[in-house]
Structure 1
């Protein structure tokens, strides 16, 4: 069996940069679970536009590019960030391309408790948060666990796309945390 490394896009709040860097270094570089792309700071042409179609097309074109799975790393205030909302919305967008699979992962500092971004939460559904399009997990301890989560999200693109909930308007501003 071929060892497939999916290309993931990592969405996060920059206050959590140290933990995000550790996640990317551990699972992306050292353990070779995935290849990744993460955004530094989005350019002003996206920030200052009120045209949601333009915003989503630019995020897809410039930042999500050839990724197939989006991982949202969840810290204390991730739920309140407009960029995270935009990245999730664009990841789930259907049309001329296949939506990304979607995973939420709690960062270690959250001690297994955090508020997921609303758009992620709407895609979890069910009592056990594993009945919708997306999944969410505590921070992985093993590379094979994360690899399985990514593969499940990748497969969801063809097995669960009818469960995508993505009709909410995009955040115009960050929320207060």
Structure 2
């Protein structure tokens, strides 16, 4: 697996873990009343059902394809640049002494490294742009999810909402109510 793919997967996994931790920690005070029952949501089910996360999942796939295409372009640029530099060096070496040829080889190596660094910087910049866009979309989806949970918690007079994974016993499952509220909002939004 290529370095950029490993980096992309590691960052995606890291963002997912951080998101779950932030969701659990941020939802503990969703409703103003502290006298009501505790509620919980199944985050996995929410993320598989809410349109924001479905769009985000599709966007991640699109951005991965975009990055893969750009990476292919960069690698083609790299191969072409190396070939041109090698051809140029081969022409320069004709009729030169061994010391001069060694200097040309050293310059070739330096030029190839410079070009590789330049192209790697372009690849990292593209990855950074894509990741920034994905982070913004993920943040928006998380904010909407948090608002939906808070609204349902207030409606059902739930004082605290936890992730299902954190609940050992009791509590009120408000997952489906959150999904239903999101579906209603989505339907209203599509009619406008």
Confirm or deny a common fold (TM above 0.5): no
In terms of fraction of residues, the more helix-rich structure is 2
* The structure with more radius of gyration: 2
Q: Under TM normalisation by the shorter chain, which class is it?
A: under 0.3
